[in-house]
Structure 1
């Protein structure tokens, strides 16, 4: 499975974990509930499949800097899991940002809300910019209507969510893309992070979105090259 080759820092032996992923549908919420419930190694409060916020901040920060200054740009991380993309933007961005992380796993959402609020004896998270905000909500990325109005986000982040949903069938991945484009503002940007080759991903994105898609190579991280697929909203 190309899209999930990163090192998984959980306490279960790698061989057992790899077997469970290989035999399971990655679009199954129960699988992710079980994975997010696994004890974390050491003080690892977040976990990232591919890479974390630090590796992509030089890509994200210019997009935030270019956003209108009247109000913080709204950022939606679809399928946020327990990644540090949201928390990194909140605690490290020098620009104001209003971040919403959504995931269909209640286990992941509960963990991130606990981390945000300083649960389990941890220090609460504080924003670098005083006007920044961060929330986590349970939601299905294929149906964002309960949490996101059309055209309401300037930046959408999808780090491996397309890859996981596509394991349940491409129609689900296309529905995910449709919802992301629906909630994307006219001048916004959707970024899909994946290690899937552009020869495979680009035709799907361009055909289904009807837009030109830019590609930026990332890494390699831990020996793997990734790609950022940037889809712009319509003006």
Structure 2
């Protein structure tokens, strides 16, 4: 599916996500509800399992999640043994960042989850803030051993189109390729795109990424066709 085939939706607006995370932040402060796990716990488990097999915590990788929301995926990586000082979650919604930080402090005794960094960043427009310990000359670009996306690209493709009929998502793959370091990985889970469609968008000369592997999901059949509800694909910058 082309991103131009999808119609704009409130799910592609910053206003929608600001409202969602404002409500979830209030709920967490009042009753301790951490909010929705986007794509469910299975997606978190599958992405963490892939990371443990391919980007092991013993190597102290720098990990970036684009559109981290409430941070549930990064907390799971921290629980799995990844160094929280080398983990960054960015989101363009300030209340998403506040929510993730509040949850992190509540989980402070759980492998130092409060040491994970969360920052406000419009990934399509802003440079990603560097973490301490990064090599100075690559602190702004090509810095990350593992970059994660769990539903963020899906939301971006639902943004309003410009006069040429293009969505902001058209520039997203190149931005991803810009931050992944040589030999580093990009791992994405999507509900809008098939495995082959993700390969077509992210594995090209502009990004410098090549398809590395896929994470299997249960298949379903309907009307003589079979498919998956979600697609999880890993790319490597060679």
Partner of 2:229: 225
Structure with the largest fraction of helix: 2
Query: Structure 2 CA distance, aligned partners of 1:183 and 1:212?
Result: 15
**Pick aligned residue for 1:143 from 125, 128, 133:** 125
Partner of 2:3: none
State yes or no: 1:30 paired with 2:18: no
The answer as to whether partners of 1:46 and 1:84 remain within 8 angstroms in 2 is no
Matches within 5 A, 1:46-125: 46-52=35-41, 53-65=44-56, 68=59, 72-90=60-78, 92-97=79-84, 98-118=86-106, 124-125=107-108
1:184-199 aligned at under 5 Å gives the runs 184-195=180-191, 196-199=193-196
- Trace 1:141-220 onto structure 2 (pairs within 5 A): 141-148=123-130, 149-168=140-159, 169=161, 171-195=167-191, 196-207=193-204, 208-220=206-218
TM-score, structure 2 as length reference: 0.73
For residues 127 and 46 of structure 1, the distance between their equivalents in structure 2, rounded to whole angstroms, comes to 19
**Separation in 1 of the partners of 2:40 and 2:118?**
20
Cα distance, 1:171–1:113 mapped onto 2, change above 3 Å: same
Q: Quick one: distance in 1 between partners of 2:58 and 2:186?
A: 14
In 2 relative to 1, CA 132–35 (structure 1 residues): closer, same or farther, beyond 3 Å?
closer
Q: Which consecutive residues of structure 1, in runs of 5 or more, have no partner in the other structure?
A: 1-21, 119-123
C-alpha displacement at 1:215, in angstroms? Answer: 4.5
**Alignment of structure 1 residues 124-139 onto 2, 5 Å:** 124-128=107-111, 133-139=115-121
Unmatched segments (≥5 aa) in structure 2 = 1-6, 131-139, 220-226
Residue pair 1:143, 1:179 contacting (<8 A) in 2 also: no
Name the TM-score, length of structure 1 as normaliser.
0.74
- Contact 2:104/2:113 (<8 A) preserved: no
Name the Cα RMSD after superposition.
3.2
